Amino acid sequence: MQEVHITIADESHFLYAEEICSVISDSAKVRGTGIAKRTPDYVQTKMKNGDAIIALSDDQFAGFCYIESWGHGEYVAHSGLIVHPDFRNRGLAKKIKEFTFNHSLKKYPTAKVFGITTGLAVMKINSELGYKPVTFSELTDDPKFWSGCKTCTNYEILTSKDHKMCLCTGMLYDPLRKKKKKEKWFNQKVLKRLKKIKQTMLANNKPLLLWKK
């Protein structure tokens, strides 16, 4: 098995930006899910600012993720998590996510870490890191974040619901919330069933309360 090294990306990794964007786009098409598209220039900016994580096997691109800051640093989000097809089914996505998570806590120690996703695998990883499912109202209200969803195929659903819900599930980690132990809530069968219900309710234009504190 090829050894993979995960590191904080910098300007020396600019040459991988175009391939990263291509793999992210191709993966979304295969899954049939929406995705906020990013350009190679945007990815390179993240690398330059120390907000990107890259996984390499020698000189071959293996995986990627980046950090975005919202609401004047009150929130951060991890986006673009991707593993090259040649390196999948090895647990690499989880390792990249954990590396990105720990890096963001060091760089933005007081920020709440959040994400929106349709992927059950990402939800499971987030759950293990201490994220909790939340309604969109608990996420950032920074318009720049939500404008990033414009290239997603589900954007019309999001706008029709006044940015209160969509096919994605919102998840949040609050570093200031003291916990005695991590709470395990992830149940793949329940989430799959919930996802189907959510899609049906949205298609019928009916309100749906996902979680209640």
Residue 114 lies in a domain: yes
In a domain, 208, yes or no: no
31-42: pLDDT as tens digits: 655 566 789 999
Mean pLDDT of 193-199: 61
In a domain, 138, yes or no: yes
Residue ranges making up the domain that contains 92? 5-203
pLDDT per residue as tens digits for the range 55-98: 999 999 999 999 999 988 899 999 889 999 999 999 999 999 99
Tokens representing residue 29 in the block: 């098409």
Number of domains in the chain: 1
Question: Is 213 part of a structural domain of the chain?
Answer: no
Assess if residue 20 is contained within a domain: yes
Closest to 67 measured CA to CA, from 17, 34, 103: 103
Is residue 126 in a domain?
yes
Residue 209 has pLDDT above 50, yes or no: no
Domain of 41, CATH number, reads 3.40.630.30
